Amino acid sequence: MRLDTRLDDYTCLIIDEAHERTLHTDILFGSIKDIARVRPGFKLLISSATLDAQKFSEYFDNAPIFNIPGKPYPVQVCYTKAPEANYISAAITTAMQLHISQKNGDILVFLTGQYEIGAVQESLQHTCRVLGSKIYELMICPIYANLPPDMQSKIFEPTPPGVRKVVLATNIVEASITIDGVYSPKTRMESLLVVPVVFKSFCSSHVGPGHCFRLYTQRAFHNELEENTVPEIQRTNLTNVVLTLKVFFF
């Protein structure tokens, strides 16, 4: 956009996962709104599975809304009976309970970062060594942004017979990744939500039935959690953004 502020070389722009409200996406919305007004033939498509479509329609001068129906599958949501003092320990315990008690399906555990993923991976590996042949083999696959691509690709490998895969992930898998065989977003799902997130269970209904385990109480979900995450633009330093905009448009 620095060399083509009106995007004259483009006739259509698609912005996916608009609900995430990242800093760069919100800045893009503001810039694209002005471009759409001065270019009547310019087409802008904003897509999301959980978007507040009416709000975005009003922002873009009452743009038309299109709903694309899917085939939702039932997802059974389970909550803890009492607040968890340590959600990492709760995630480890729940993952192992699922592995021992459930016959089919892989497991996807959402965590907040690389450090937590490493801690959970080490604990699961230790438990598996202790139990040995008493349980099925557990294939542990971490995935986070800084993980080398060849390591990330392991989550897409088919799970061998007699083995259960557990994927330890940040929200990197939330946007567009589909993991075959995992009860997860956009697949069948045995998901442990260790942060207050609803979107993941919504996506799980797209391909097959499953379970979503939220490691907080139902009361906390309804009374304490925010319906939407505060947009990044409202909680971050905007110095670099302002300087970038000045370079692009002034």
Which residues of the chain have a pLDDT value below 70? 1-2, 70-72, 172-208, 249-250
- Provide the residue type at 179 as one letter: I
Residue found by looking up tokens 């330093």 in the block = 237
Taking CA atoms, 234 is separated from 19, 34, 120, 125, 198, in Å, by: 15, 21, 32, 40, 21
- What confidence score (pLDDT) does residue 51 get? 74
Taking CA atoms, 62 is separated from 25, 53, 65, in Å, by: 19, 10, 9
How deeply is 35 buried, as exposed, middle or buried, from its count of CB atoms within 10 A (0-12, 13-18, 19+)? middle
- What confidence score (pLDDT) does residue 196 get? 45
| C-alpha–C-alpha distance, residues 247 and 250, integer Å | 6
Name the residue ranges covered by the structural domains of the chain: 12-68, 75-223
- Give me the helix-helix angle, 114-131 and 87-101, nearest 10°: 40
- Which contiguous run of DSSP H or E holds residue 245? helix 239-249
Q: What is the CATH number of domain 75-223?
A: 3.40.50.300
1 Cβ partners below 8 Å, 6+ apart? 7, 31, 248
pLDDT digits (tens, 9 = 90+) for 157-200: 888 888 999 999 887 665 545 555 554 433 334 445 444 444 44
